[in-house]
Amino acid sequence: MNLFVRHTQTIPALLLVLLLSGCTKTSIDEVPSYINIAGSKLIVTDIQGSGSQKISDAWVYADNDLVGAFELPKKFPVLKSGTTQLLIFAGIKLNGFNETRSPYPFYEKISIPVNLEREKITDLGLLTFSYVAGTKFAWKEDFEQANLSIDTTARSEVNLVRTQLAELATVFPGEGNKYTAKVLIPNDSVVFECATHDSFILPTDGSSVFLEMNYKSNNEFTVGLLVNGSVSSQRSILVINPSSSWNKIYINLTPTLSSITSATSFRVFLTAKKNTKDANGEIYFDNMKLLHF
């Protein structure tokens, strides 16, 4: 048989392989449904303080299977259809870092039954979260009352001032928030430090303990714990970077507390020295909450 005949005989077989591969069908189980989440909000009771929140992500489970963690707002696929039970956890940036994201233990998960349809979008709109029942608010300070629960220490060379800001009505709408704490640091040789008047008994067994706060600053400042016990000490926990607009941060105190099991109680402190090129270091902070179970 010559070469021309041999090659022409192989052409039909090759065409058949190409035709069959081109006709491979996608399994119906591989066709996704879609969910859209527009964002989130937090509802609070009178005793829980500000409803300010910075929920960055939604951790989504469908029928107990993890779908993923999604930065909000987000439309995302789900390889399920029909009646599906969604569990959604509010995710935050631990200590304000993009790299450390986690469900926030003090926000209640949302359970939603949905009917998913393949290639169609189920729109959940704004998710409404609340604090978990049993959350203990060991300390709250919103600076709306003249008698403050936090003030400068003997080390501080500048005062903490309760001041009224018109912009708070826009930053925290509907909350009647008029006052905040303000600190001005005039030069880099001056120390600012403030601490809570009261000491708090906090869990040191690994249970979650967080400090929430809003702030705006052109200057770094440090948040930490004053430790009471047989030997008193001062533990710096987090250096907070400047933010030109009001920001919300969730500071994880749990690892530090777990390493100080002999302590009897704790106080929260903030401290700073001027490290901005501006004429003054300027720090505002508000809506502070110390939470644990």
Joined tokens for residue 170: 């826009």
Q: Does the pLDDT at position 25 exceed 80?
A: no
Is the pLDDT reported for residue 7 higher than 60? Answer: no
Which of 74, 76, 79 shows the shortest CA–CA distance to 37? 74
3-state secondary structure of 57: strand
Cα separation values, 284 from 38, 47, 81, Å: 30, 23, 49
Q: Which of 166, 164, 129 is nearest to 143 (CA)?
A: 164
Percentage of residues in the chain with pLDDT exceeding 70?
Answer: 91
Q: Where are the domains of the chain?
A: 28-130, 136-292
Q: How far apart are CA 4 and CA 26, in angstroms?
A: 38
CATH class of 28-130: mainly beta
Confidence of residue 23 (pLDDT cuts 50, 70, 90): low
| pLDDT beyond 90 at 3 | no
Q: What DSSP element (H or E) covers 9?
A: helix 3-22
- Quick one: fold of 136-292? Jelly Rolls (2.60.120)
Mean pLDDT of 252-278: 96
More confident residue, 57 or 19: 57
The model's pTM is: 0.90
Contact 175, 50 (CB under 8 A): yes
Q: Identify the bridge partners of residue 116 per DSSP, sorted by sequence position.
A: 82
Please say if the pLDDT value at position 42 is more than 90.
Answer: yes
Q: pLDDT, tens digit, for every residue of 238-253?
A: 999 999 999 999 999 9
* CA-wise closest residue to 81 among 29, 37, 36: 29
Q: Residue 29's pLDDT band (boundaries 50, 70, 90)?
A: confident
- Rounded average pLDDT over 54-81: 98
How far apart are alpha carbons 124 and 37 in whole angstroms? 5
